[in-house]
Structure 1
Amino acid sequence: MLNTKQPVLRRFWYALMPVENLKDGPKPFTLLGEPIVLFLDAKGEPAALEDRCCHRTAKLSKGWCNNGNIVCGYHGWEYDRDGKLVMIPQFPFEQPVPEAKARSFRAKTRYGYVWVALDEPLSDIPDIPEDGLPGYRRINQFYEKWNTAALRLMENSFDNAHFAFVHKGTFGDINQPKPEKYEITENEDGFDAETIITVRNPLSASRITGTTEPTTKRHQRNKWFIPFCRRLDMEYPSGIRHIIFNCATPISDGQIQVIQLLFRNDTEADCSAQELIDWDAAIIAEDRDMLESTDPDAIVDMGRKIEMHMPSDRPGMIMRKRLLELLRAHDEEELPRERVA
């Protein structure tokens, strides 16, 4: 599935980068093949415009901000957060600025990140009830570019059959290759998947899990939000909840920006943020290495894989079905003539 060829995917919110990154000036980003520029307006709120000055097509991201407007670094033309041209420094004071605009996009802050929707959103940014809830802390674990497709990351996030193999260096047990049963319930936003799994608990993970036992159990409540977000709530017998939220933001058809947030119901003294970042980073590195070795479109292009329909394949099959339904529902209204595989 070529994400950049499906206009309906422009109608969702995607996390791009920490809002803190914009405090020192504009930043470029490519979302679904669309070059955009992010900056902070006069109120400190994020704004997103096409990364192209309407004068000589220079990238606005090479400019700077002035009182909440963005200034083109080529000739100093200045635009407000809505893309309206408000100043041409070469014009005499009495000469009116012509009606001209750079295309603007919806942008807002949530969970410490800038989120952008290129067209009218079909749904809101997924809700994380624990954000700001007393007793929970939020840790921005990482954001980085991966050479894979958004749907591949989502499928992998619900595939319990890979734990024993891909994660044999962290929590997986290669002697227990059969995944435990998932209970999957589809809903309007995507689906919920619940299971209880036994995992290895090396000494390095004891502060993560809250126990020094050699193995422990995870009560996993995994939720998929159409199209490319997921929330994994892992509850340990110790009472610790380790809640991971990911957004796989499509840059192009073969590259994504992955953001990962963590919510914990403990304190820095119980387990430091750096310990939590390092532990999950090792697991994520195992996933990334494997996913970047696969074909980005393997979940959709049925001719490029063998469908054996293992029970653990069901989440991916549901994702494929639901996304194809979404694309077809909007086909007459907005999809290009090129069809998905």
Structure 2
Amino acid sequence: MIYGGKWDRDGLDYKALRNRWHVVARVDEVRDGTPLPVRLLGEDLVLWRSPTGINAWKDYCGHRGAKLSLGCVRNGEIECPYHGWRYSESGQCVKVPAHPDHEPPQQRLVYPHRVTERYGLVWVSLGQPEGDVPAFPEWDDQSFRKVYAGPYRYRANALRSVENFLDASHFPFVHANLNGDPENPDSIADYEVFKGPQGLTTSEISVFQPYGDHRGIPVTARYTYHVFQPTTAYFTKKTGVTERFCTFLNATPADEDEAVLYLIVAINFGADLTEEQILSRQDRVFEQDRRIVESQRPYRLPLDLREEMHVRSDRLAVEYRRWLRALGEAALAVNTTTITIQPAPADSSRSTSYA
């Protein structure tokens, strides 16, 4: 038996996350010869390079249960630190040093997971991903400069951190005099949320920001938010006729109360901005967010809307929670013959109206 973390595996939030792609590292963090330990959904994993690329396995040797991440990689094979057993990328044991003249055991007690590389990031799924890694709209657009930010480590739930990323009404208070004016907070005009095959998308949300981007200038920012999968969100922020400030966020659910946030910022302005200027602003904003998100209780995002209060400016958060619940119920139904998911109404692409 492989022991994972404390996450309730019967919870709808866990069910909604298991069959998704999650970022667990930057590609350049996985170095030749050195396994990298990571954590996802309460499980310890090890990343290691073989001749064909990066592998993602449970951090476990089937001989005596030691962590493979404490070992090393030799000749394209991962070596356990306990007894020196070696495994090929196929998961086959190929060497037992204590018995060099005997055929290694054929039983395969290592556990590989699906892994892929995209946008300079390592993506892993513990289950059966239903589709490809989410698209980053500006990735192939050479007019946008891309900068990696983070990772930011929160002692908080990943879904809470995503919901915070999608919330414009906290700007004047959490990011006072940066993303908003606490003495004159914006009234958030009604906006729409659309649900489709690529997740959730909003209409534009307009706010004033005293220090609106990395240039340190005041702007009226027009945000459009997208949620491609439960832990992958993105916004396009228009600050002029052609100026765009985009952020691609992946909040890794290391455990139910531990998240690691990986960001890629894409901008098509400010050619003279240094990377230090760009990262300084991102670091400041996400540190301000961290203090608040870590304070939220309960840790896990409530998917029952009756558990917290909501107003019209929370429309995206409400639809996000409904969507997560539906994803969890759908995943549960796949393995439960007694549950039937009813077909969605014809107009379900539009959000529910609010009083």
Check whether TM > 0.5. Answer: yes
AA of the residue aligned to 2:249: N
- Provide closer, same or farther for how the CA distance between residues 250 and 118 of structure 1 changes in structure 2, counting only shifts above 3 A: same
From 95, 99, 102, the equivalent of 1:91 is 99
Report the CA distance between 1:68 and its aligned residue. Answer: 2.1
SS of match in other structure, 2:325:
helix
User: Which residue of structure 1 aligns with residue 353 of structure 2?
Assistant: none
Assess if the C-alpha contact under 8 Å between 1:3 and 1:250 holds in 2: no
Moved more, 3-12 or 233-242: 3-12
Provide the rounded CA distance (Å) in 2 between the counterparts of 1:304 and 1:232.
27
What is the CA-CA distance between 1:137 and the residue it aligns to? 2.2
1:227 partnered with 2:230: yes
- Aligned match of 1:47 in 44, 55, 70? 55
- The superposition leaves residues 217-271 of structure 1 with CA deviations (integer Å, 9 ceiling, x where unpaired) of 222121012211101111211632111011111111111111111112246x421
C-alpha displacement of 1:4: 4.2
Tell me the CA shift for residue 90 of structure 1.
2.2
Letter in 1 for 2:289: D
Instruction: Report the secondary structure of 2:204's partner residue.
Output: strand
AA of the residue aligned to 2:273: C
Aligned to 2:295: 293
Other-structure match for 2:319? 318
Contact 2:157 2:301 in 1 (8 A): no
Q: What amino acid sits opposite 1:246 in the alignment?
A: L
Q: What is the alpha-carbon distance in structure 2 between the residues aligned to residue 315 and residue 198 of structure 1? A: 16
Q: Deviations over 1:138-185 (max 9, x none)?
A: 211111321111221222222221111111142211212422332321
- The Cα shift of 1:135 comes to 1.6
Partner of residue 151, structure 1:
159
**Equivalent residue in structure 1 for 2:199, among 179, 190, 194:** 190
User: Which letter does structure 2 place at the counterpart of 1:327?
Assistant: G
* TM-superposition CA deviations, 1:41-79 (whole Å, max 9, x none): 113x21011111111111000000112221101111111
Partners of 1:181 and 1:195 within 8 A in 2 = no
CA separation in 2, counterparts of 1:81 and 1:277?
37
1:151–1:299 contact (8 Å) kept in structure 2: no
Aligned pair 1:284/2:293, yes or no?
no
Q: Partners in 2 of 1:333 and 1:198 — Cα distance?
A: 42
Q: What is the CA–CA distance in structure 2 between the aligned matches of 1:315 and 1:3, rounded to whole Å?
A: 26
Report the counterpart of residue 162 of structure 1 in structure 2: 170
Percent of counterpart pairs with the same letter? 28
CA contact (8 A) 1:207 1:270 kept: no
The corresponding residue for 1:328 is: 329
Count of aligned pairs:
325
C-alpha distance in 2 between matches for 1:321 and 1:11: 18
What does 1:4-43 align with in structure 2 at a 5 Å threshold? 4-5=9-10, 6-23=14-31, 25-43=34-52
Q: Relative to 1, partners in 2 of residues 1:160 and 1:8: Cα closer, same or farther, differing over 3 Å?
A: closer
Match of 1:180 in 2: 189
Quote the Cα distance in structure 1 between the aligned partners of 2:88 and 2:15.
26
Amino acid at match of 1:208: R
Q: Which amino acid aligns with 1:179?
A: I
Whether contact under 8 Å (2:71, 2:79) holds in the other structure is yes
Aligned in 2, Cα 1:70/1:7: closer, same or farther, shift over 3 Å? farther
Asked if structure 1 preserves the Cα contact closer than 8 Å seen for 2:180 and 2:210, the reply is no
**Quick one: distance in 2 between partners of 1:53 and 1:167?**
46
What is the DSSP-based 3-state SS (H/G/I as helix, E as strand, rest coil) of the residue aligned with 1:330? helix
| Cα pair 1:140 1:262 within 8 Å, conserved | yes
Task: Call closer, same or farther: CA 1:299–1:183 in 2, change over 3 Å.
Answer: same
Task: State the secondary structure of the residue aligned to 2:107.
Answer: coil
Deviates more, 1:29-38 or 1:6-15: 6-15
User: Is the 1:145–1:256 Cα contact (8 Å) retained in structure 2?
Assistant: yes
More helix by share: 1
Tell me the amino acid that sits aligned with residue 291 of structure 1: V
Q: Structure 1 residue 304: deviation in Å?
A: 4.9
Residue 346 of structure 2 aligns with which residue?
A: none
Residue 250 of structure 2 corresponds to 247
1:116 aligns with 2:128: no
Q: Does 1:80 align with 2:88?
A: yes
1:301, CA displacement in angstroms?
5.2
TM (norm. structure 1) is: 0.88
Cα pair 2:186 2:208 within 8 Å, conserved: no
Report the Cα distance in structure 1 between the residues aligned to 2:8 and 2:20, rounded to whole angstroms.
Answer: 12
Structure 1 residues not aligned, in runs of 5+ = none
Partner SS, residue 160 of structure 1: coil
Once the 2 structures are TM-superposed, how far is the Cα of residue 123 of structure 1 from its aligned partner? 2.0
Q: CA contact under 8 A between 1:222 and 1:230: conserved in structure 2?
A: yes
Distance in 2 (CA, whole Å) between partners of 1:282 and 1:181 is: 29
The correspondence for 2:220, drawn from 217, 221, 230, is 217
* TM-score, L = length of structure 2: 0.85
